[in-house]
Amino acid sequence: MKFSEWSYTRPDYSAVKKKISDCKSKMQNAGSYQMFRDAWMDVKKEIEYMVYQEEIIYIRHLCGIDYQYSLGEVEIQNREEPSVYALRDECNRIAAASGYRRELEREFGNRIFAHLDQHRAAESSDSIRLQSEESALKLQYRKLMVKDNRDDEALYQVFRKLIEIRCELADSFGYDSYIDLGYLIQGRQDYGTKEPADFRRNIQKYVTLAVADIKAKGIDYDYPPAIAANPGELISAIAAMFKDLSYETGSYIEEMTQKELYDLETRANKRGNLFTCCMLPYEKLPFIIGNYTGNGMETGYTVHEFGHGFAFYTAARKQPLYELHRSSPAVNEIHSKTMEHFMFPYLKMFVGEHKKEYIRNHLMQQLENLAYRCAIDEFEHLMYDRNMSRVQLCELWADISNRYTPWNRISPEDIHQGKCWPRQTHIVESPFYYIQYDIAQISTYEFYLKMKSNYEQAWSDYMRLCSEGGSKSYQELLETAHLSNPFIGSAVEDICHPIVDELYSLL
Ligand SMILES: [Zn+2]
């Protein structure tokens, strides 16, 4: 059945909570591993089905379909979800503390409690209220971003309130700053604040300089036009590529096209410039959202999202639990970004004669993004300060931006008028997420270099990484895929050098 024909029923949140509570008492009174495990699994099934229903309407909301209705439903989700998740986490804590933990880990792997956010141990009615308020602010920000005439003042007010709420949230959990909480929410266990700080320094040293030099040459790197005249033609080209690439990508794209699990049209109320991949648990299928306007680079953004979808689809068929179908963003972005490089041999289908131009732009854009994202990351580490005035916040951003991306000049008037805090939606939607694209970029380049020296090996490493989903830690996954650790030694320099060289050769 096509996605557009799937039915949506608002989850009955009190019934969901009632069922989870029942499971909880079954777990507490279980007389055997089997009984305990089944009740624990039933909690997961309840959540999966709830998320599945929510995702259907969330996708319609993002796509601007039945906009008023879907918006209302998403608002209800935001209100109801935190208390459901609090209950789920209670069950997980019971499992983690129980005598059956060992057996569960033996059956499902040792990552099953890794996502059990420590901070939720201190879950209180206060923090649940704050999380609901945070969700409401995100939604408000999203609404302001879809408007044609952006209202700077209103955006700033939401941004400011978010800083307040998140600082309060950190207080409610007993953390010194929101950074600690933000890291936990991102599920970072393999590195702290020091590693990203070193990483940013390396990017500034090896990437900012090269990009600034190339920019100074004044080369025009406008995006090449795409061959596909409309979303339908783009899907046909992607399907041809995926079918040729491997048996696995072929089966995946077959199901995606049969069920029309994508929406690449532009329309009123659809979030502009958005390219994303939503995951539908229960059906174990992804849904791709994009805004295709015929620009060559957008073909790559779309393939990127289909790459996320492929990884999810693959892991969902190998890993038993929904939580393990994806890893942290630092790994998930390797899946999608590497797929953009597997696309290179097929570029003729997407941009015809503009292949060289496309690769040049792609390399240039990614290197530039490396620097820009480090700027955002540094900003995120300093913005959660309630005492900073609006102008100070702008001064902070201008200073950071000038260091990492000196080619993006910020005018003194904008600083003075308090207009120049970054509009990067990730800061609002998912704090401390953005840098992970950068970390993943280094591994992606490593995959790209491997494709050139040993294509077969690159593909089998890639498949292994996708299949593992989130069943291993970040470090373990890097090892599984024979990738270097981007934080260690001269990895950034060693990997970026040949990429910068290739870029120079294409100028
Ligand atoms: Zn992505």
In angstroms, what is the span from residue 291 Cα to ligand 1's centroid? 15
pLDDT of residue 221 exceeding 90, the answer is: no
Please state which of the ranges 40-44, 278-282, 373-377, 419-423 shows the lowest mean pLDDT. Answer: 419-423
Number of domains present in the structure of the chain? 3
CA of 301 to the centre of ligand 1 (A): 9
In a domain, 366, yes or no: no
- Section 7-11 average pLDDT: 95
pLDDT tens per residue across span 267-296? 988 987 889 999 999 999 999 999 999 999
- pLDDT, tens digit, 9 for 90 and up, residues 154-212: 999 999 999 999 999 999 888 899 999 898 887 777 788 999 999 999 999 999 999 99
- Residue 19 CA to ligand 1 center (angstroms) comes to 34
For 245, the domain range is 231-353+452-489
How many angstroms is it from 307 CA to the middle of ligand 1? Answer: 8
Answer whether residue 149 shows pLDDT above 80: no
Domain match, 473 and 343 both:
yes
Identify the CA nearest to 364 among candidates 493, 202, 217.
217
Measured in Å, residue 298 CA sits from the centre of ligand 1 at: 13
The pLDDT of residue 190 is: 77
**Strand (E) or helix (H) holding 369:** helix 355-382
**CA-closest candidate to residue 299, choices 372, 380, 357:** 357
Q: 338 C-alpha to center of ligand 1: Å?
A: 10
Asked if 112 contacts 104 with a C-beta cutoff of 8 angstroms, the reply is: yes
Q: Is residue 389 part of a domain?
A: no
Expressed in angstroms and rounded, the spacing between residue 206 Cα and the centre of ligand 1 is 24
Same domain for 90 and 169, yes or no, is no
Looking at 317-354, list the stretches that DSSP marks H as alpha helix, in order from N- to C-terminal side.
329-342, 347-351
Q: 336 CA to middle of ligand 1, Å?
A: 6
Going from the Cα of 333 to the center of ligand 1, the distance in angstroms, rounded, reads 5
- Residue 417: per-residue pLDDT: 87
Q: Does residue 280 fall inside a structural domain?
A: yes
Question: Are 178 and 238 in a shared domain?
Answer: no
Query: Rounded to whole angstroms, how far apart are CA atoms 11 and 49?
Result: 9
Distance 309 CA to ligand 1 centre (A): 10
Report CA(497)–ligand 1 centroid distance (Å): 24
Give residue 435 CA to ligand 1 midpoint distance, Å: 12
The alpha-helical segments, DSSP class H, found in 383-487 are 390-404, 412-416, 425-429, 435-453, 455-468, 474-480
**Same domain for 148 and 1:** no
Q: What separation in Å is there between the alpha carbon of 317 and the centre of ligand 1?
A: 21
pLDDT band of 119, cuts 50, 70, 90: very low
Whether residue 361 is contained in a domain is answered as no
Global pTM value: 0.89
Distance 203 CA to ligand 1 centre (A): 20
Cα 96 to middle of ligand 1, angstroms? 31
Tell me the chain's radius of gyration from C-alpha atoms.
23
Question: Using CA atoms, how far apart are residues 86 and 101, in angstroms rounded to an integer?
Answer: 20
409 alpha carbon to ligand 1 midpoint, in Å?
27
Question: Each residue of 333-366: b (16+ CB within 10 Å) or e?
Answer: bbbbbbbbbbbbebbebbbeebbebbbbbbbbeb
Are residue 144 and residue 105 in the same domain, yes or no?
no
Distance 93 CA to ligand 1 centre (A): 31
Whether 17 shows a pLDDT value over 50: the answer reads yes
Looking at the predicted structure, is the pLDDT value of residue 121 above 50? Answer: no
Distance CA 300, CA 278 (A): 18
Say what angle helices 355-382 and 209-216 make with each other, to 10 degrees: 130
What pLDDT was estimated at residue 115?
Answer: 67
Q: How far is the CA of 229 from the centre of ligand 1 (A)?
A: 24
pLDDT value at 122 more than 60: no
Whether 197 is covered by a domain: the verdict is no
d(Cα 465, Cα 458) in Å, to the nearest integer?
A: 11
**Are 133 and 279 in a shared domain?**
no
Largest separation between any pair of C-alpha atoms in the chain: 73
Ligand 1 midpoint to CA 172 (Å): 32
How far is ligand 1, taken at its centre, from the CA of residue 335, in Å?
8
What's the whole-number mean pLDDT along residues 410-432? 89
Please tell me the distance between residue 468's alpha carbon and the centre of ligand 1 in angstroms.
18
Q: How far is the CA of 304 from the centre of ligand 1 (A)?
A: 6
pLDDT digit string (tens) for 227-254?
999 999 999 999 999 999 999 999 999 9
Residue 388 lies in a domain: no
Residue 90 has pLDDT above 50, yes or no: yes
The answer to whether the beta carbons of residues 467 and 331 sit under 8 Å apart is: no
Both 171 and 63 in a single domain?
no
Structure confidence at residue 123 (pLDDT): 62
Residue 406 included in any domain: no
Average pLDDT value over all residues in the chain: 93
Q: Are residues 275 and 168 in the same domain?
A: no
262, β-bridge pairs:
288
- Residues 170, 250: one domain? no
Using the mean position of ligand 1's atoms as its centre, give its distance from the Cα of residue 442 in Å.
14
Whether 269 and 67 have beta carbons less than 8 Å apart is answered as yes
Average pLDDT over residues 414-427: 88
Does 31 share its domain with 87? Answer: yes
Domain boundary residue, one of 117, 137, 157: 117
Same domain, 111 and 245: no
Q: What percent of the chain has pLDDT over 70?
A: 97
What's the CA-to-centroid distance between 329 and ligand 1, angstroms?
8
As residues whose CB is below 5 A from the ion ligand 1, the structure lists: 336
What's the pLDDT score for residue 455? Answer: 97
State residue 398's pLDDT score.
95
Is the per-residue pLDDT at 264 higher than 50?
yes
Separation of CA 313 and ligand 1 centre (Å): 15
Highest mean pLDDT, choosing among 15-24, 144-153, 420-429: 15-24
The predicted model gives 393-422 an average pLDDT of 91
The token pair that represents 440 in the structure block: 């993943």
pLDDT at 120: 55
DSSP 177: S
How far, in Å, is the centroid of ligand 1 from the Cα of 199?
Answer: 20
Q: Is residue 216 part of a domain?
A: no
* 340 and 240 part of one domain: yes
Lowest mean pLDDT among 37-46, 115-124, 454-463: 115-124
Ligand 1 geometric centre to CA of 152 (Å): 27
Q: Are 313 and 421 in contact (CB under 8 A)?
A: no
Residue 113's pLDDT band, with cuts at 50, 70 and 90, is confident
What pLDDT sits at residue 117?
Answer: 53
Taking phi over 0 as left and psi of -120 to 50 as alpha, with beta for the rest, 493 belongs to alpha
pLDDT score, position 118? 52
- Give how far Cα 11 sits from Cα of 18, 42, 48, 55, 183, Å: 12, 16, 11, 11, 30
The CA 26 to ligand 1 mean position distance, Å, reads 39
15 Cβ contact list (under 8 Å, min separation 6): none
**Residue 148 clears pLDDT 80, i.e. is over it:** no
